[in-house]
Structure 1
Amino acid sequence: MYHPYFRGKQFELITIRETAGLLAASGFVPIIEPVKETLNGLNRALKAICEANGKAIVIVNPYHGDHAEDGAGISSLLKDGFLDKDGITAGILLKDGMTLDGVLEYYEEHKEHSPTFVHAGFTEPKALAEKLGNGLETTQHVFFEKHCGKLYRKHFKGSRRVLVRDGFQRRRNADHPPVEEFSDLHATYEEEDMDGFGDFLTVGDDFSEGGGPAYAVAIHLTFIDPDRDDVMYIYHFLSTTNDTPTDPAGKFGQALDKLIAKLDSGKSMLLEGDAIKEFRDLHAKGHFPGLGHVKKLSMKHHIETLANYFA
């Protein structure tokens, strides 16, 4: 049902590892696009998923990062380490400029890994659907909403279909409003005639290798509002100081103070799971764990929120 889309940076992979049990228990299937040359973190994340009897889709031809030109290392990892694991499948990213022949080549190469087609800019949906023919209904297709309108998705009716929407608005941290709408897809994907839905968690689809110095520090946390038809919203808790790129620890403290005040008001609607417990612990200790760790807690909380919603 839910397919969180991760770019395989260090803290994304740690998030997967730490939530592997919850992902599996909830029937959630992460999609991972490996972006780092070393695949040790990916290997550990996939092992954690297998140990939890979960599932994951691994992109074998990434668009971003160190494997963008050649995904052979990823294919080797899947073949050598996970061929006997039914839960780990290959994902083929159908990008702008890819030919039908190119797509089918990837499909044949990874056939034993029951590949999923991930549509992200491909322009020949009708030709692909016709080529798959009677085999279409045994395939799975994931659509990036910004590239795939209803007419595009219609060609793959009869197969298993998942719609991925980016609910995170990309802007400078300092420019975020205190709260805004994130998505309603968790509540409406069946209305869209889809079998599942996905998002890019609280990170968004825009990929960057590394962030520059943070002028403002933000903690991004999602919540579902039952009084508004279960729409999901996102809080942006921002540091008060944002005029220089110094003192990230102090700025994190300012943002965390705002988060704790909102929680203590009793009106936050934030799910108080493991991630919020850790934010409370960090506040009590006055500790700054680093911005990557903060991002990890934000993603973890998002997964916990959706798991609680579907429970």
Structure 2
Amino acid sequence: MYFPYLYSRQAELNAVSDVSSNLGSPQRIVPLIEPVEPAAKLISTLTKLKSNAMAAYVVVNPHQGKLSNSAAEAAWQSDFAATLTDPTVVYPTLKETVVTTLKDISNFVAAYPGRKIGIVLTTSKLTPGDLAKALSGSDYTVFFLASANSAKYLATLGPARTVDVSDNFRSEARNKDYLGEEWLGNNHTSWSAAGRRGFSDFTMLPGTYKDGGGPVGAVAVHLTYALGSDLWIQHFISTTDGQTDPQATKFEEVLRDIHRQRVVTPSRYELSPGLASYETQRVSGSYTNLSGNKRQQVSHHIFTVAKHLGL
């Protein structure tokens, strides 16, 4: 099982919609979504998932991005309430923080009897025995961010109930600083032998949430591909990198380089919806925006993992 960890920004939600029919039957790729914006776009994406008989883990105590204040979070809770009641599309998930108590975990479990639920651990402050007791009797999956020590919990919770969320993408401060090709990970080859429930990552995005983003210099496209049993990523960066330079020129340069690489290594990249969109733009000269660019990279990553899993 693969659990791509995504934030509920437009690009990432659109990417999920783009690959909603490529998640396996039965479903083997289950998005784990942390809301950071009002609920409307997330609800729309979940509706698309439901139409394909798919579901997602959704953090139900959001506190980042546009939901970082109590009024915004309360509005999100109200708007999402009806969707949250549907067990066929939403697996409620609690994200633990430094202020989360064992009672909070117990209350969360009690709120969703008979439902698939998730716990995202960001710390290791809860004792394994207490956590196991609080989760006892529920159909749970515990996801460990890098800031939590999963090894501390494995023996008590059992590997089949646990997933490590790997932050594999090496982020640069400037797009122009990305170079060539890099190893991205191999968790997709090791989780089953270790008896784990699955594996997780932040696709080809940084794991730490950051608000907004201003004008960019160079345009970057990061394309995931499989090399043997490993996943790699290739960075395509525009030569033009001034913030006031035409964005169309930057996209033209990047897409031309992607096309050249595909000519040299025609079987390197999976023919994902994202890659198909880039090719359409290259031919037409009508380019996407930065949000669409991220959408296409995320969908390509998920699609590539799906193909590597035999879906």
Whether these two folds match at TM > 0.5 is: yes
State the 1:262 CA deviation: 0.4
- In structure 2, do the counterparts of structure 1 residues 199 and 47 end up closer, same or farther at CA, with 3 Å as the change threshold? same
Q: 1:151 maps to what in 2?
A: 152
Identity between Structure 1 and Structure 2 (%)? 25
* 8 Å Cα contact 1:88/1:113 also seen in 2: no
1:273 counterpart letter in structure 2: S
From 199, 202, 225, give the equivalent of 1:223: 225
- In structure 2, do the counterparts of structure 1 residues 241 and 187 end up closer, same or farther at CA, with 3 Å as the change threshold? same
State the 1:256 CA deviation: 1.4
State the 1:79 CA deviation: 4.0
State the 1:151 CA deviation: 2.0
1:296 counterpart letter in structure 2: R
Q: 1:8 maps to what in 2?
A: 8
Please say if 1:48 is aligned against 2:87: no
Query: CA–CA distance in 2 between the matches of 1:179 and 1:8?
Result: 28
Query: CA–CA distance in 1 between the matches of 2:184 and 2:7?
Result: 19
Query: CA–CA distance in 1 between the matches of 2:240 and 2:51?
Result: 44
Aligned CA RMSD, in angstroms, stands at 2.2
| Higher normalized contact order (CA 8 Å, seq sep 6+, divided by chain length) | 2
| Secondary structure at the counterpart of residue 3 of structure 2 | strand
Query: CA–CA distance in 2 between the matches of 1:146 and 1:185?
Result: 18
> What are the equivalent positions in structure 2 for 1:209-248 lying under 5 Å apart?
209-226=211-228, 230-248=229-247
**Post-superposition CA distance 1:271-296 (Å, at most 9, x none):** 12332221111111112210111111
2:110 counterpart letter in structure 1: E
**Post-superposition CA distance 1:179-236 (Å, at most 9, x none):** 101110111112443110111111221212211211111001100102xxx1100011
State the 1:304 CA deviation: 1.1
> What is the number of residues matched between the two proteins?
306
After alignment, is 296-305 or 82-91 more displaced?
82-91
> What are the equivalent positions in structure 2 for 1:183-194 lying under 5 Å apart?
183-194=185-196
Query: CA–CA distance in 2 between the matches of 1:52 and 1:267?
Result: 31
Q: 1:208 maps to what in 2?
A: 210
Q: 1:166 maps to what in 2?
A: 167
Please, which runs of 5 or more residues in structure 1 have no aligned partner?
none
> What are the equivalent positions in structure 2 for 1:101-140 lying under 5 Å apart?
101-111=103-113, 113-132=115-134, 134-135=136-137, 138-140=139-141
> What are the equivalent positions in structure 2 for 1:49-64 lying under 5 Å apart?
49-64=49-64
* 8 Å Cα contact 1:33/1:62 also seen in 2: yes
Query: CA–CA distance in 2 between the matches of 1:310 and 1:24?
Result: 9
| Secondary structure at the counterpart of residue 88 of structure 2 | coil
State the 1:106 CA deviation: 2.9
Q: 2:179 maps to what in 1?
A: 177
- In structure 2, do the counterparts of structure 1 residues 225 and 108 end up closer, same or farther at CA, with 3 Å as the change threshold? same
Q: 1:305 maps to what in 2?
A: 304
State the 1:132 CA deviation: 2.5
Please, which runs of 5 or more residues in structure 2 have no aligned partner?
none
2:22 counterpart letter in structure 1: L
**Post-superposition CA distance 1:53-109 (Å, at most 9, x none):** 111111011242222444444444554234243342101001233222233333333
Query: CA–CA distance in 2 between the matches of 1:68 and 1:18?
Result: 28
Please say if 1:23 is aligned against 2:23: yes
Query: CA–CA distance in 2 between the matches of 1:104 and 1:132?
Result: 5
Query: CA–CA distance in 1 between the matches of 2:216 and 2:135?
Result: 51
2:259 counterpart letter in structure 1: I
1:284 counterpart letter in structure 2: V
TM-score by length of 1: 0.90
* 8 Å Cα contact 2:106/2:135 also seen in 1: no
| Secondary structure at the counterpart of residue 277 of structure 2 | helix
After alignment, is 193-202 or 143-152 more displaced?
143-152
| Secondary structure at the counterpart of residue 13 of structure 1 | helix
TM-score by length of 2: 0.90
Query: CA–CA distance in 2 between the matches of 1:130 and 1:278?
Result: 46
| Secondary structure at the counterpart of residue 280 of structure 1 | helix
State the 1:125 CA deviation: 3.6
* 8 Å Cα contact 1:63/1:93 also seen in 2: no
| Secondary structure at the counterpart of residue 222 of structure 1 | strand
After alignment, is 112-121 or 178-187 more displaced?
112-121
- In structure 2, do the counterparts of structure 1 residues 105 and 297 end up closer, same or farther at CA, with 3 Å as the change threshold? same
* 8 Å Cα contact 1:17/1:48 also seen in 2: yes
After alignment, is 153-162 or 292-301 more displaced?
153-162
